Amino acid sequence: MKPLSQNSVLAKQNYLIPITKRPEICFVRGEGHYLYDQNDKGYLDWVQGWAVNTLGHSPQVIQQALIKQSAQLINPGPAFYNQPMLELAELLCENSKFDEVFLTNSGAEANEGAIKLARKWGQKNKRGAFKVITFDHSFHGRTLATMSATGKEAFAPLFEPKVGGFTKVPYNNLAATEAAIDDQTVAIMLELIQGEAGVIPADPAFVAGLNTLCKQHNILLIVDEVQTGIGRTGSLFAYQYFQAEPHIMTLGKGLGGGVPIAAMVINKAVSCFDYGDQGGTYNGNPLMCAVSTAVVQEVLAKGFLEQVNRVSDYFCQQLSVLAKEFGLGATRGRGAAVSHEYRAVVCTWYCRAGKSERFVVECAPGRFFEVYACLDTDRKRGR
C-alpha cells in the first residue's frame, strides 16, 4: 500500500470520531521493537500497542499462524467447535490452575464476563449476593460495567448513573477491604499490579490476606490479568508469582500478541453459566485463537521467560543508575521483581535517549512514563 502524504493524513483524520489526541503521523509498518511512519522514520516502540505485542511487531510466528489459519477456516461461528478454540482453551488450562475458558474479544468483555459469572454464582450460592469490591486507581475497561468497576478518578463523573454494585477501597489496605465486606458481597476483583495507575504492585501480605478473606467469607477472588498475563511479569501469569488463589482470571492484551482476543479462565467449582447467559459473535474465532495459541506456545518455549527475566533485570538495573544520576525516586514496581514488568518511571531516561532515538512511550502527564517493551527482546537493538 502506498504511504499517505502528510496532508492526506491530516485530511482523512476528520473521518474518525475524535476519542484521543493522536500525533500527526501515520504508522505504516512495524518490525520487532520498531515502528515506521509514512516517511519511513523509525521509532523504538515502548508502547507496543499498550502492552499487547508480546513478540513485537509483525513477528513470523503470528504471520505464519494467520496465513495458515486464514487459508483453512476463518469463521464457522461461535455455536460450533473449531480446532484452534479447543487447543487454546486446553493450553490455558493445562498451564494454569484453572479448568475452563470463555474466549472473547477484549479485556473489558472478559471482565464483564467475570462480573456476570460472580453475580450468577452469588444468585446460586450466596442468596443473591452481587457486590464486587474493587480498588482505588484500578482499571478494568471501558464498557459501562467495567468503567463502574474501575477506580480511576477521571471515570467517576462520567456516564452517570453507573452500574451499581461496586465498592471501592484503597489498594493494598486489607483492613479497609475486610471492613467493606457485607452479606451482599460476592467477589473481590483486583489487578495484581495496577498498570494504568503507574505500575503499583500488590503487597504480598495483602494478597495473602485476600486469599484468607475470600475463604473466610466464601467470596470469589477475581484477578484481572489483562495486562499482567502471558509473561509480562516474568511468569506466565502474575497470580503464580504473587501466590494468589483466584477463582477467576481474565486475560487480554498479550494473549493475542496484537490481535483482538481475550479470555475468562475459571475454576470448575464456580462454573455456573446456563446456556444463553454468555456468548458473543466472535467468541472462540479460529483465526484469533490460532494466533493466540502460537503466541502462548512461544512464551512457554524453553528459555523464553528466563530471558525475559534476565533482560528485565538488566533493564531495571540500568534504569536505577539513571534514576539515581537524575535524582528520581525509586523505580516503581515490586522490588526486584519489578524488572519483570518491563515498565518503569523513566522520564529522564527517555529524554536522554531521545537525543539519538525517536521513541514511542506511554505518558501520564506530570506523573510518569511507562515502558511496555515487547517481551521477545535481547540487550541489542531490535531483534
User: Which stretches of the chain bind ligand PLP, using CB under 6 A?
Assistant: 50, 106-108, 111, 139-141, 191, 195-196, 224, 226-227, 252
* Nearer to ligand PLP among residue 181 and residue 255 (C-beta): 255
* Nearer to ligand PLP among residue 134 and residue 293 (C-beta): 134
* Nearer to ligand PLP among residue 224 and residue 376 (C-beta): 224
Minimal distance, residue 143 CB to ligand PLP, in Å:
8
Which single residue brings its beta carbon nearest to ligand PLP? 107
Do the strands 166-169 and 131-135 form a parallel or antiparallel pair, or are they unpaired?
parallel
Minimal distance, residue 166 CB to ligand PLP, in Å:
14
Minimal distance, residue 109 CB to ligand PLP, in Å:
7
Minimal distance, residue 104 CB to ligand PLP, in Å:
10
* Nearer to ligand PLP among residue 43 and residue 135 (C-beta): 135
Q: Is 224 a catalytic residue?
A: yes
* Nearer to ligand PLP among residue 36 and residue 239 (C-beta): 239
* Nearer to ligand PLP among residue 110 and residue 270 (C-beta): 110
Q: Is 215 a catalytic residue?
A: no
Minimal distance, residue 148 CB to ligand PLP, in Å:
13
Minimal distance, residue 354 CB to ligand PLP, in Å:
25
Q: Is 206 a catalytic residue?
A: no
How far does Cα 83 stand from its chain's mean position?
25
- Please identify which of the residues 139, 206, 304, 369 carries the catalytic annotation: 139
Q: How far apart are the C-alpha atoms of 138 and 135, rounded to whole Å?
A: 6
- Please identify which of the residues 37, 45, 224, 376 carries the catalytic annotation: 224
- Please identify which of the residues 98, 253, 369, 376 carries the catalytic annotation: 253
User: Which positions are annotated as active-site residues?
Assistant: 139, 224, 253
